[in-house]
Structure 1
Amino acid sequence: MFYERFSGAPLGRLNPLTVFAVCVIFFVGIATSFDPMFQISVVGVVLLVLVGIQRVPVLLVLALMVPFILFGMGFVTTNLLFRQDSDFAMHIAGGDNGGAALSAGLTLSLRALAIGTISILFALSVDPGAFVRALIAYLKFPARLGYALFVAMQLVPDLLAEAAQMRMARAMRAGRPVRRIPGPREMAALAVPLLAFAVRRAGRSAIAMEARGFGATPARTMVGVPGFSWADPAFLIAGSGVLVVLRLV
């Protein structure tokens, strides 16, 4: 996981719920604002935190932002090509001509980019396992769903490793090197074995949940629950203050 490379960064030492709360506050601020300069300011601040505080390489940040950039470009092209069907967005932009459609598309695209950068910050700052444990311990998240999330987090890398072993076995049997990118026929041949692997893992997980007595008692003991420190309220106040300043500027 990407998080493991930056687990020693400052934000990685905070309680996951604190980082999650600040991200939610920024999400609300972005969703309620149609000011392009505010969206640009949010993107700049988050990038500064990612590169300057979390020490995330710039190229990695840019690579992770590509899907959100493409998604934002979709708003621009939609408003330009189908502007008669986007009266609400053009009304927000302050006009009803082609220039307003472009302005509305850029505003919505900047919003998507701002939300994307905050999502990247959360993904690179929070340990998924610690986040789930914090949800169960502090917000009374159902333990069964939490364990299911743990299983899913372990299943994805195991599924990729199983697919790599299957591809290697097929290549050895055919007497050829393993292709870097599997073709359509190879992907179709791997679908059923991988599905069977996932079904077996699901059955084992269900047995494991029964063995651990999920649902037997309302109270459960947990280990490794992240705690709070003085840095958590400081980060919450600082994040809220930054958002207020960006909205007022």
Structure 2
Amino acid sequence: MNAVNPVAKLAASLLLSALLIVTIDWVSAAVALALESILFVWAGLAPRAFFRRTLAIWIAAPLAGVTTLLYGVASGTTYLEFWLVHVTDGSIALAVATTLRILAVGLPAVVLFATIDPTDLADGLAQVWHLPSRFVLGALAGMRLIGLFLDDWRQLELARRARGLGDLGRVRRFASQAFALLVLSIRRGSKLATAMEARGFGGTTTRTWARVSVFGAREWMLVAAGAGIGAVALSVSLATGSINFVIG
């Protein structure tokens, strides 16, 4: 999976998501999730890394389901009713569908993007999708600087403690450090833009690339797998009569 072109991973994830958000029913989401779980084995992530990276999805999905259960559209038999809380057959079905839908859309997206290198993605976007090189390289430079934010935050915190400013209120301290980080980031961005401009990154001539981005059979297979999973899920939902179009 690591050797697959990143734009193929992006395309597969977008196709799968586009097909799954057409309907909100538990059958299509469950079928998609079952098919995706087979592919997760070949994703290249160890079980520990898989659950660590997808932890936010595992937390968000049940929370969204509980909210839908309590405040979803009321229909069918009522099981609990208290002020705004209204638990019915309709809200239960919608809660299950919502939970499974978030897992079916979120898990493959996180797994696919966890194995993407930003430089490889930039190469693919510029060479395969032919996006403007100036935009792609600028976005790549910005992504590479994200990791410096944490280091800058730690340095600012240590500097403020050394000056005796670390005992202020938590909210006040956070606001002050956030403003300082914003100023530091703007200065660094301006210097980086000037340096890139001086090295010809903003030119209008046709660019050359150090590495060729290849889009071959493996990439097409992954895109087809993403589209196939979504199509099978919709077909099963339609065959069982469970399909519930979002816009209808």
Query: What's the TM-score, normalizing by structure 1?
Result: 0.75
Cα separation, 2, equivalents of 1:242 and 1:114: 10
Q: Note if 1:223 corresponds to 2:213.
A: no
Cα separation, 2, equivalents of 1:75 and 1:246: 20
Q: Note if 1:38 corresponds to 2:28.
A: yes
CA gap 1:32/1:218 in 2 versus in 1, 3 angstroms: farther
RMSD of aligned Cα (Å): 3.1
Letter in 1 for 2:156: M
Stretch of structure 1 that moved more, 26-35 or 99-108: 26-35
Cα separation, 1, equivalents of 2:8 and 2:44: 20
Please tell me whether the aligned partners of residues 47 and 117 of structure 1 are also in contact (alpha carbons under 8 angstroms). no
Match of 2:47 in 1: 58
Please tell me whether the aligned partners of residues 130 and 225 of structure 1 are also in contact (alpha carbons under 8 angstroms). no
Identity over aligned pairs, percent: 23
Cα separation, 2, equivalents of 1:170 and 1:48: 50
CA gap 1:125/1:132 in 2 versus in 1, 3 angstroms: same
1:124 equivalent among 109, 114, 119: 114
CA gap 1:188/1:235 in 2 versus in 1, 3 angstroms: closer
Please tell me whether the aligned partners of residues 46 and 121 of structure 1 are also in contact (alpha carbons under 8 angstroms). no
Q: Note if 1:212 corresponds to 2:199.
A: yes
Stretch of structure 1 that moved more, 210-219 or 149-158: 210-219
Match of 2:184 in 1: 197
Cα separation, 2, equivalents of 1:100 and 1:127: 43
**SS state of the match for residue 14, structure 1?**
coil
Alignment of 1:152-167 (within 5 A): 152-167=142-157
Match of 1:7 in 2: none
Letter in 2 for 1:231: R
Higher relative contact order (CA 8 A, sep 6+): 2
Stretch of structure 1 that moved more, 186-195 or 151-160: 186-195
For these two proteins, the number of residue pairs brought into alignment is 223
Alignment of 1:101-112 (within 5 A): 101-112=91-102
2:219 equivalent among 217, 226, 232: 232
Cα separation, 1, equivalents of 2:159 and 2:27: 54
CA deviations over 1:104-152 (Å, ceiling 9, x no partner): 1221232122111121122113222211221112222122221221122
Cα separation, 2, equivalents of 1:173 and 1:151: 33
Cα separation, 2, equivalents of 1:129 and 1:248: 37
* Per-residue deviation, 1:100: 0.9
Cα separation, 2, equivalents of 1:217 and 1:21: 28
* Per-residue deviation, 1:198: 0.4
Please tell me whether the aligned partners of residues 9 and 113 of structure 2 are also in contact (alpha carbons under 8 angstroms). no
Structure 1 unaligned spans of 5+: 1-10, 85-96
Cα separation, 1, equivalents of 2:221 and 2:108: 19
| More helix, by proportion | 1
Cα separation, 2, equivalents of 1:59 and 1:37: 28
Alignment of 1:69-218 (within 5 A): 69-72=58-61, 73-78=63-68, 80-81=70-71, 83=73, 98-172=88-162, 174=164, 183-218=170-205
CA gap 1:82/1:29 in 2 versus in 1, 3 angstroms: closer
* Per-residue deviation, 1:68: 3.0
Query: What's the TM-score, normalizing by structure 2?
Result: 0.75
Letter in 2 for 1:138: V
Letter in 1 for 2:187: R
